[in-house]
């Protein structure tokens, strides 16, 4: 476990209360093995960070691209805040090395799990907001998403996966894929949706996410990856 001070240097943010950063790194699995009392998992901070990220990215895109339609703005935001994008940034900071995980979670590769890393990154954003305020977290988000945004816009790669899949399938099969919720799990404040994407009655792939839309996007992406 690397020191929290080392992570502060990587993030280039000095916390007034280092415990805020520590809580952002505590996976719920760790609580069962921790000897310390009054520890909390990072789930509440993740909830906060998720909302802050969506707000900051939305405002940024709204001001950055005054001529873009609502659809284009939504598609760009979806690409910026998807699990893979967040996990990529989390890996840049080596967040996995700083995580507080149970032995079992570590053995299962939790330090490199994309979903876990993305959730932790959102929790860190929540911690930055609480400790240093909205201006600091805005600056941090824009700095770390700038290159990804430029890449998306320059390449024009901001169509959502559902749209790309629909175009691909209609061109080849003259059919439209459909989506169906297979399962809902987790507490109300952190519900996970599992969705299947179908062509007729055939299940093409499944995807999970914190909203139905995110799950559908992940399912569509899984199909596109298979096609590639």
Helices 83-92 and 134-155: crossing angle, nearest 10°? 120
Helices 43-64 and 70-81: crossing angle, nearest 10°? 140
- Point out the catalytic residue in the list 23, 43, 46, 50: 50
Give the span between the Cα atoms of 167 and 10, in whole angstroms: 41
* Helical segments of 15-155, H only: 18-24, 28-31, 43-64, 70-81, 83-92, 95-98, 103-107, 114-132, 134-155
User: For residue 200, how many other CB atoms are within 10 A of its CB?
Assistant: 10
Determine whether 50 is an active site residue.
yes
Complete DSSP assignment for 57-84 = HHHHHHHH-TT--HHHHHHHHHHHHSHH
Determine whether 188 is an active site residue.
no
* Helical segments of 160-211, H only: 161-173
Smallest CA-to-CA distance from 183 within 191, 174, 193 is with: 193
- Point out the catalytic residue in the list 43, 46, 105, 122: 122
Active-site annotation, residues: 50, 122
């Amino acid at each position: 476990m690397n020191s929290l001070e080392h992570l502060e240097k990587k993030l280039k943010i000095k916390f007034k209360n280092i415990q805020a950063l520590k809580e952002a790194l505590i996976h719920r699995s760790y609580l069962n093995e921790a000897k310390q009392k009054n520890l909390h998992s990072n789930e509440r901070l993740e909830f906060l960070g998720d909302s802050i990220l969506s707000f900051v990215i939305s405002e940024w895109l709204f001001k950055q691209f005054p001529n873009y339609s609502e659809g284009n703005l939504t598609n760009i935001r979806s690409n910026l805040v998807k699990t893979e994008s967040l996990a990529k940034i989390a890996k840049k900071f080596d967040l996995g090395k700083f995580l507080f995980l149970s032995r079992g979670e570590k053995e299962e590769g939790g330090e490199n799990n994309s979903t876990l890393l993305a959730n932790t990154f959102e929790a860190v954003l929540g911690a930055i907001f609480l400790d240093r305020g909205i201006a600091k977290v805005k600056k941090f988000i824009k700095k770390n998403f700038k290159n990804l945004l430029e890449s998306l816009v320059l390449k024009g790669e901001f169509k959502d996966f559902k749209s790309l899949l629909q175009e691909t399938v209609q061109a080849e099969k003259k059919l439209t894929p459909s989506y169906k919720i297979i399962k809902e799990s987790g507490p109300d404040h952190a519900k996970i949706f599992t969705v299947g994407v179908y062509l007729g009655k055939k299940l093409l792939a499944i995807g999970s996410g914190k909203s139905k839309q995110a799950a559908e996007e992940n399912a569509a992406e899984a199909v596109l990856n298979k096609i590639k």
